[in-house]
Chain A
Amino acid sequence: MGVDTFESWLRDLASTLHDNAAYLTELDSAIGDADHGSNMDRGFQAVVAVLDETTFAAPDEMLKKAGMTLVSKVGGASGPLYGTFFLRFGTALTGAEITPASLGEALKAGVGGILQRGKPELGDKTMYDAWAPALAAYDEAVAGGSDVHGALVAAAEAAAKGRDATVPLVARKGRASYLGERSAGHQDPGATSTTLVLESAARTLG
């Protein structure tokens, strides 16, 4: 897994988010402020622009630059959260030989950044409700001897289940929390975009 593999992930993710921008914004209209899709699309189009004009020597350099670009272009809560994820994910891969276990550690480092910035807990109805089961499923798959692709497929499936499980929850973080009980019955936009990130990774990495 070299630079090209990770570049194909970021490009696949950018086009996935572009295709799903209206859907994410619609989910956000129900319980937030109707900007999640357009923000993610704008951020990842900026990442694609960086990929188009820069040649990276190693995956970590590219992923860190992607993270910085998201922080600089997205704004809102998604910018710091996804930006910090890619920054920490990339940093954790610096110099490491990429194995199923080291990639799992990098994912964990990325999600650690999300925890530090957003301080979410499981059940708050946030992107963490997709990330947490995804990390657990990834580790379990690797422990069972899976390769990177297999572990990412397991992670994406777990993220999707976590995303679906956000529907009945009452939000306790982010703009949706201001609705109180009225936030129940709606799927969380952040958990939805996280699932797209992992599904894209499962398609392109490994």
Chain B
Amino acid sequence: MKKLINDPADVVSEALRGLVAAHPEQVRVDLENRIVYRKDAPRAGKVGLISGGGSGHEPMHGGFVGLGMLDAACAGEVFTSPVPDQMMAATKEVDAGAGVLHIVKNYTGDVMNFEMAAEMAAAEAGTEVQSVVTNDDVAVQDSLYTAGRRGVGVTVLLEKLVGAAAEEGRPLQEIADLARRVNDNGRSMGMALTSCTVPAAGKPTFELAENEMEVGIGIHGEPGRQRLPMAPAKEIAALLVDPVVSDLPYRQGDSVIAFVNGMGGTPLIELYLMYNEVRQLLDSAGITVARSLVGNYITSLEMAGCSVTLLKVDDDLVRLWDAPVNTPGLRWGA
């Protein structure tokens, strides 16, 4: 393992110190509880938005704290969900009387820990908490006999859209309904060219030969559903777009936000090349791209590869997408 770290045990806390040092005007950090807060949270009358999960997916979630997105993000160990104490502390801190929404990715540990935290917050402080669980990964086909679909790329888009709605002062129930509607209208699929190395494990999670790729991966270095021979970008784009489009399904005339996400180890030149391929596939399917996002937003350490997310949008969602956002990881209009 060759990484820019000191001790594997200190990776998360030292990274959080760096995040706040680099972005002091947007965020503050509770280092003891490993919570990134929006600098000016809690905001009177505003629903508090909290997310969190294992570290190693930067900029998600700490990088999405700030104006127009999250009020707090709880950082777990690398690829390990945070603990209920963190979510409890964050929930109490950002509740300004309008209630709190927990944005949870569908992974067993995240769901269990957030559930415990919501129970405890309601019991101890009487805080009104609603939860939305994202589950947009079409690679997981049979949700009856698995833990269900994983929450991946849609989580980023959801945090932006719901963040803008919360900024407008919409009430908790409306915010929670919007969050579920966004989740229901988004689908994703990912692939990897390499594994990643979890610092505490010290070696790659899996081995991929030069002529192989993993298709249907999540964001934790876990292997995908299928190992296939390496292929040109055009074919890989089709492997990702086709199952996404046919799953919802997205139809001719639909308007979408198209999101090509890097897993952390793929340069932007390749991500833009992939976006070009994705765009052509959508054009030929008659699907209109209302807005797009290309870059490393929900990553898996230094894994090479990408994911494609499509989110069906209407005028209201496009307006929320365009609203100002000012966070370490996403910024426009502000």
Q: Which residues of A contact B (CB under 8 A)?
A: 25, 29-35, 38-39, 42, 71-81, 117-118, 171-175, 177-180, 182
Contact = CB atoms under 8 A, between A and B. Distances in A.
B160 interface: no
Contacts of A118: 108, 112
Contacts, number: 118
14 contacts: A30-B206, A38-B77, A39-B77, A39-B80, A73-B83, A74-B83, A75-B77, A76-B109, A77-B112, A78-B109, A80-B113, A81-B112, A175-B107, A175-B218
B163 interface: no
Contacts of A79: 81, 83, 109, 113
B198 interface: yes
Contacts of A174: 108, 147
Nearest to A26: B201
B109 to A, nearest CB: 4
Nearest to B219: A33
A179 B223 contact: yes
Contacts of A117: 112
A150 to B, nearest CB: 34
Given A75-B113, A174-B147, A175-B108, A33 B76 contact: no
B198 A33 contact: yes
B332 interface: no
B220 interface: yes
A178 B112 CA distance: 18
B146 A34 contact: no
Given A117-B112, A118-B112, A172-B146, A178 B83 contact: no
B220 A175 contact: yes
Given A79-B83, A79-B113, A34 B108 contact: no
A77 B109 contact: yes
Contacts of A179: 222-223, 225
B84 interface: yes
Contacts of B223: 31, 179, 182
B201 A178 contact: no
Contacts of A171: 146
Contacts of A31: 222-223
A133 to B, nearest CB: 22
B228 to A, nearest CB: 13
Contact of A34 (B79, B85, B150): B79
